[in-house]
Structure 1
Amino acid sequence: MQTIDLSHVIRTGMPVFPGDETPNVRRTHFINKHGFAQTALDLTSHAGTHVDAAAHLFADAPGLDWLGPDNFTGWGAVVDLTALSAPVIGQADLAHLADVEGLDFALLRTGWDKHWGTERYYRDFPALDETGARFLGGLGLKGVGLDTPSPDPVDSRELPAHRILFDHGLVIVENLTRLGDLPAESFLFCCLPLRIADGEASPCRAVGIAL
């Protein structure tokens, strides 16, 4: 069994979505002074590798504290999209997922995580079009994960891919990394968020477990 870390490190000044507050990770207590170490975290719920729940867009959707661990664990498959000729992911790019039995999470590997930490990361990244989002929504999945900032383009205001996926009961995992280290299919995927009251999103430690 091999556990593969799919999460970016949370640190002060890390990249954030345009308009979000920059995280600050601050040591408040020190072993040599206080006898123990303690850290204060100042960050938004969408910082780094994180899970979006439907409450992100829908006021009547349950918060993270109402969603059980089963919503964030299951069998995964990686879709290799590194050869995309355009920054649009449509149904045709995902069609083979219909043949994967027992699939819970579709992880879309675009290779965009190579730009993490640069200004380009939040510009012109591959995103789902509505055909791709509807196709994924119709597969009976628990969630979709991406190695990009969002399933929608950075300048999208209506967020159609988010809405379609949420309408089908999926969670969305954003800012994944190292998807190329996973097998194509038949691995366990876990993206457990913090149990935040009425939370719409949370940083998570996403991992893939190759059995």
Structure 2
Amino acid sequence: MRLIDLTLPPDDPRGRYPGDPPVQASPLHTLEQHGWRLHAVSLGSHAGTHVNAPWHMAPEGDRLEELSLDRLCGWAVVRGAGPVAPGLGLIYADFPLEGAELEAVLEARPPFVAQAVEFPLDLEAERALCLAGIVSFENLDRTALLPRGVRFWFMGLASALAPDGFPVRAAAVLEPWDHGFAQVNTNESIR
């Protein structure tokens, strides 16, 4: 199994929306004085690589603590040209999600959508996904390392500390048993 860490650290300025609070970590206990280390942490719920629960922008959307773990992980593909593959999460690593593409995604209702840090999710797209009940992830890093045209397992697991969203540790799991990966046929579901 090969893992690709897609996590942008919460304090990376590329993942900070203007007006969001800065990330701070202050030591409270030290190994020398207390026998362990402990930090107080302060950050916005959308720092770095993070998940947006539908409740973030939808009045009746699911809150983060209401989402089952299977809505935060699953088979995914880097979005390319052609129809949206049914049943797969979509990773936008090469272009942003907007316009006619957003309409196609809303119609296909993928289990989740994720956006590379290079292509910030605009507010219109983010709101539309939330209103449709589609979980979204923002600020994925190192998406150039992801395979194109093949499926892989995506995970973006978060603590349910805030109901609107929270930073995640995101990763792609590449299957060694596919020997070069299973090709994605965009016209049929992948089991």
TM-score w.r.t. structure 2 length? 0.82
Secondary structure of the residue aligned to 2:4 is strand
1:174 aligned onto 2:138: yes
CA distance in 2, matches of 1:133, 1:102: 16
Q: Corresponding residue for 1:96?
A: 82
* Residues 37 and 97 of structure 1: CA distance in aligned 2, closer, same or farther (over 3 Å): farther
Aligned-partner Cα distance in 1 for 2:10–2:60: 30
Aligned to 1:85: none
Name stretches of at least 5 consecutive residues in structure 1 with no aligned partner: 80-93, 111-125, 153-158
Q: Residues 91-149 of structure 1, C-alpha deviation per residue, up to 9 Å, x if partnerless?
A: xxx54243x3541x111113xxxxxxxxxxxxxxx643232211112223111111136
Assess if the C-alpha contact under 8 Å between 1:13 and 1:24 holds in 2: no
State the shift of 1:175 in Å.
Answer: 0.6
Structure-to-structure mapping, 1:1-211, within 5 angstroms: 1-11=1-11, 16-79=16-79, 94-98=80-84, 100=85, 102-103=87-88, 105-110=89-94, 127-148=96-117, 150-152=120-122, 159-184=123-148, 185-196=150-161, 199-211=163-175
How far has the Cα of 1:57 moved from its partner? Answer: 0.9
Structure 2 counterpart of 1:86: none
Shift of 1:10: 3.2
Name the amino acid aligned to 2:92.
Answer: L
**Count of residues in correspondence between the two structures:** 173
Identity of aligned residues (%): 30
Residues 13 and 150 (structure 1), Cα distance of their counterparts in 2 relative to 1, 3 Å cut: closer
Distance in 2 between the 1:161 and 1:14 partners?
19
> CA distance change for structure 1 residues 66 and 9 in 2, over 3 Å: closer, same or farther?
same
Q: Deviations over 1:76-105 (max 9, x none)?
A: 1013xxxxxxxxxxxxxx54243x3541x1
**What is the letter of the counterpart of residue 180 of structure 1?**
A
Structure 2 distance, partners of 1:61, 1:5, is 29
CA distance in 2, matches of 1:163, 1:12: 24
Q: Give SS of 1:8's match.
A: coil
- Distance in 2 (alpha carbons) for counterparts of 1:142 and 1:97: 16
Q: Which of structure 1's runs of 4+ aligned residues deviate more than 4 A?
A: 12-15
Matched letter for residue 151 of structure 1: L
The letter for the 2-side match of 1:96 is G
Over the aligned positions, Cα root-mean-square deviation in angstroms equals 2.1
Report the Cα distance in structure 2 between the residues aligned to 1:52 and 1:138, rounded to whole angstroms. 19
How far does residue 44 in structure 1 lie from its aligned partner after superposition?
A: 0.6
CA distance in 2, matches of 1:189, 1:139: 18
Given that 2:86 and 2:110 are in contact with CA atoms closer than 8 Å, whether structure 1 keeps it comes out as no
Give the Cα separation in 1 of the matches to 2:14 and 2:33: 28
